[in-house]
Chains A and B, each alone.
Chain A
Amino acid sequence: MTVQLHAHARAFPIGGPIIEVQDISMAFGGVKALTKISFDVRKHEVRAIIGPNGAGKSSMLNVINGVYRPQEGTLRFAGEVITGITPRRAAHLGISRTFQNIALFKGMTVLDNIMAGRNLRMHANFLEVAFRLPRALREETENREAVEEIIEFLEIEHIRKTPVGRLPYGLQKRVELGRAIAAEPKVLLLDEPMAGMNIEEKQDMCRFVLDVNDHYGTTIVLIEHDMGVVMDISDRVVVLDYGKKIGDGTPDEVRANQNVIDAYLGVAH
């Protein structure tokens, strides 16, 4: 499937860099998590960050959407320097993400979770909501329509009104993806979207990720430590090891890269 996808002309051709990471370094109380990392992410591409556990992949993601603040280096989004922004600001800029261990709102239904993902598009204040004034109602319906589109897109109609807490792991991952794309982000950060999934679930997830990239033209940065999956869905791959960048390029280039082979493929998985 993926082969076919790349064979066809893309609806959204890959453009110039949208995220530029320059010499980013950061440490947790002395422990170096990232050292002098530099790479860029181009518009509409699927960019993978891979590396063994503890390579600093998640930290890198957390730096990009402002959960962590790097000690050194600069981070650019669409040309503008945004080093050390707050997560909220990142969200407003159009950076959306999922988490390694699912961070859904357990007590809420699938529908509400995804609706919550669109909060940036709802401006009615609590009084308007309480008295159901026109704007509140309008926003509620408009966003519900958008959300229903996503629900259909991810094929989760049947669990629309189920509290996410009751869903199996694989579905929860899917819902979280839904919540992330509900914000209609420019860039979507996926932290190990396929972690702990069986092969069918992984294939589904791959399909959805590609569909998102293909259907909405969303730029995607995803982390995986299982190489296999990543290689065939991503356009370019960054390889980290012990917080250092040891490889960067197309899947094939990376496969050929000796450092990567030593540091990564050597590691049994």
Chain B
Amino acid sequence: MFYREAGQFRTSYGQDSQIFPLRQDRFAMLALLAVAVVVIPYIASDYWLRALLIPWLIFSLVALGQNILTGYAGQLSLGSAGFMAVGAFACYNFMLRVDGMPFLVAVVLSGLCAAGVGIAFGLPSLRIRGLYLAVATLAAQFFIVWALDKFGWFKNNDPSGVITAQPIVILGYAFNTAQEKYLIVLAIVAGLALLAKNMARGATGRAWMAVRDMDVAAEVMGLPLMRTKLQAFAISSFYCGVGGALFAFAYLGTVEPSAFTIDLSFRILFMIIIGGVGTILGSFLGAGFILLLPIFLSVLFHAVFGQTVDASLISAVELIVFGALIIIFLIVEPHGLARMWQLTKERLRLWPFPH
């Protein structure tokens, strides 16, 4: 309805493969970014930033990682939380043990560590597929958490078994307030999201999807299955790792290995199922949805039953709602919120016509 497409035509393949082919979309995206950068930091309260926006961005990033592996390359992983943990602790140790280690470098390095671990646990994917692979990733999940837990060195032998993230300092400027942390997270996430989109729409993404949809055909066309799969594992884990680092440094501040449970891995999986498997946008929508749902529920319950509801009740309902939603989405809209959004957009473009 708000689209005015007449006169928007492409004279080169470059234009034809833009991320936002429509002027209106490009504008909307810029506006959104502008708001996120300029307006939000001023109007959003500390609570909003700390409890909602920052974790949302971080989990969007992690979901993005999961989506690259599961959604694009079709390799089911139940170990995302594990890779987050690697990132978080790697970052901590880089900052701790290397004097004057710049934060951003540490973040990248921790991502690379995660990528390395990812490749290691991705190796079985060369011989095994589907469910079998899920086991490999579970192994990653449990092994990593176990290792970080058992070996004090990772936690600088802190008796409490908890690490406390060092302050974020970039070029001598310390990012302490919620606003500052929000901005740094926003920058990193936006940047990585763009890179992911570029890969997804480029040759890299096609290779992933080819392997996902029909690996025999892909191989017969000369695609290197192993490299493609491992690449997906590495990149996915990188995103999870960076996400983990931010999780520790920009969100929680203090973390322990047991924060990265299998349960968290499942939630990340849910994010992409509900958000939209194999879409960049879906990762953001899904993360937002999964994060907001519990908050929404508790608010709802307190509104209905007053302050005296016991937490276990809410958590139980939360579990049910989560599970039910997953099943419903898988049955009704396997492509998730992103697909719904896309359909609405199509309708708007054709308005007032139905088809």
Q: Is B316 an interface residue (CB 8 A)?
A: no
B220 touches A91 (CB 8 A): yes
Most buried by A among B14, B214, B231: B214
Q: Which of B14, B212, B217, B231 contacts A126 (CB 8 A)?
A: B231
A103 touches B231 (CB 8 A): no
Please indicate the chain B residues that have their CB under 8 angstroms from the CB of A179 in the complex.
Answer: 221
**CA–CA, A150 and B206, complex, Å:** 18
Q: Is B224 an interface residue (CB 8 A)?
A: yes
**A107-B209, A112-B206, A140-B17 are contacts. A130–B198 as well, Cβ < 8 Å?**
yes
B203 touches A130 (CB 8 A): no
CB distance from B50 to the nearest CB of A (A): 31
A129 touches B221 (CB 8 A): no
**CA–CA, A141 and B15, complex, Å:** 11
**CA–CA, A179 and B223, complex, Å:** 13
Most buried by B among A107, A120, A124: A107
Closest B residue by C-beta to A179: B221
Q: Is B185 an interface residue (CB 8 A)?
A: no
CB distance from A134 to the nearest CB of B (A): 12
CB distance from A2 to the nearest CB of B (A): 28
Q: Is B353 an interface residue (CB 8 A)?
A: no
B210 touches A141 (CB 8 A): no
CB distance from A255 to the nearest CB of B (A): 33
Q: In the complex, which range does the number of interface residues on chain A fall in? A: 35 or more
Please indicate the chain B residues that have their CB under 8 angstroms from the CB of A131 in the complex.
Answer: 195, 198
CB distance from B208 to the nearest CB of A (A): 10
A104 touches B203 (CB 8 A): no
A67 touches B206 (CB 8 A): no
Complex interface bits, A126-145 against B, C-beta within 8 A gives 1, otherwise 0: 10011110001101110011
CB distance from A238 to the nearest CB of B (A): 22
Complex interface bits, A232-256 against B, C-beta within 8 A gives 1, otherwise 0: 0000000000000000000000000
Closest A residue by C-beta to B222: A91
**A126-B204, A183-B222 are contacts. A107–B199 as well, Cβ < 8 Å?**
no
Q: Is A41 an interface residue (CB 8 A)?
A: no
B residues 188-225 near A (Cβ < 8 Å) are: 195-196, 198-199, 202-204, 206-207, 209-210, 212-214, 216-224
Q: Which of B17, B212, B220 contacts A67 (CB 8 A)?
A: B220
A residues 108-162 near B (Cβ < 8 Å) are: 108, 112, 115-117, 119-120, 122, 124, 126, 129-132, 136-137, 139-141, 144-145, 148
Q: Is A97 an interface residue (CB 8 A)?
A: yes
B222 touches A108 (CB 8 A): no
**A105-B217, A130-B195, A140-B13 are contacts. A88–B224 as well, Cβ < 8 Å?**
yes
B residues 1-59 near A (Cβ < 8 Å) are: 12-14, 16-17
**A119-B221, A119-B222 are contacts. A130–B213 as well, Cβ < 8 Å?**
no
Please indicate the chain A residues that have their CB under 8 angstroms from the CB of B198 in the complex.
Answer: 129-132
CB distance from A231 to the nearest CB of B (A): 28
Closest B residue by C-beta to A148: B13
CB distance from A23 to the nearest CB of B (A): 25
Q: Is B133 an interface residue (CB 8 A)?
A: no
Q: Which of A88, A116, A132, A144 contacts B207 (CB 8 A)?
A: A116
B17 touches A130 (CB 8 A): no
A116 touches B210 (CB 8 A): yes
Q: Is A213 an interface residue (CB 8 A)?
A: no
Closest A residue by C-beta to B209: A108
**CA–CA, A120 and B219, complex, Å:** 11
Please indicate the chain A residues that have their CB under 8 angstroms from the CB of B218 in the complex.
Answer: 105, 116
B209 touches A105 (CB 8 A): yes
Please indicate the chain A residues that have their CB under 8 angstroms from the CB of B14 in the complex.
Answer: 137, 141
B210 touches A126 (CB 8 A): no
**CA–CA, A179 and B217, complex, Å:** 10
Q: Is A96 an interface residue (CB 8 A)?
A: yes
A124 touches B221 (CB 8 A): no
Q: Is B113 an interface residue (CB 8 A)?
A: no
Closest A residue by C-beta to B74: A107
Complex interface bits, B221-235 against A, C-beta within 8 A gives 1, otherwise 0: 111100000010001
Q: Is B278 an interface residue (CB 8 A)?
A: yes
Please indicate the chain B residues that have their CB under 8 angstroms from the CB of A120 in the complex.
Answer: 221-222
B217 touches A141 (CB 8 A): no
**CA–CA, A73 and B203, complex, Å:** 38
Q: Is A17 an interface residue (CB 8 A)?
A: no
Please indicate the chain A residues that have their CB under 8 angstroms from the CB of B224 in the complex.
Answer: 88
Please indicate the chain A residues that have their CB under 8 angstroms from the CB of B17 in the complex.
Answer: 140, 144
**CA–CA, A115 and B221, complex, Å:** 11
Q: Is A92 an interface residue (CB 8 A)?
A: yes
CB distance from B340 to the nearest CB of A (A): 17
B212 touches A107 (CB 8 A): yes
Please indicate the chain B residues that have their CB under 8 angstroms from the CB of A170 in the complex.
Answer: none
- List the 5 shortest-distance A-B pairs measured between CB atoms, nearest first: A91-B222, A105-B213, A103-B217, A129-B202, A130-B195
24 contacts between A and B (CB under 8 A): A65-B220, A87-B219, A88-B219, A88-B222, A96-B221, A104-B213, A105-B210, A107-B278, A115-B203, A115-B206, A116-B206, A116-B207, A116-B210, A119-B203, A119-B221, A119-B222, A120-B222, A126-B199, A126-B204, A130-B196, A137-B14, A140-B13, A183-B221, A183-B222
Chain B residues within 8 Å of A, Cβ to Cβ? 12-14, 16-17, 195-196, 198-199, 202-204, 206-207, 209-210, 212-214, 216-224, 231, 235, 278
Chain A residues within 8 Å of B, Cβ to Cβ? 65, 67, 87-88, 90-92, 96-97, 99, 103-108, 112, 115-117, 119-120, 122, 124, 126, 129-132, 136-137, 139-141, 144-145, 148, 179, 183
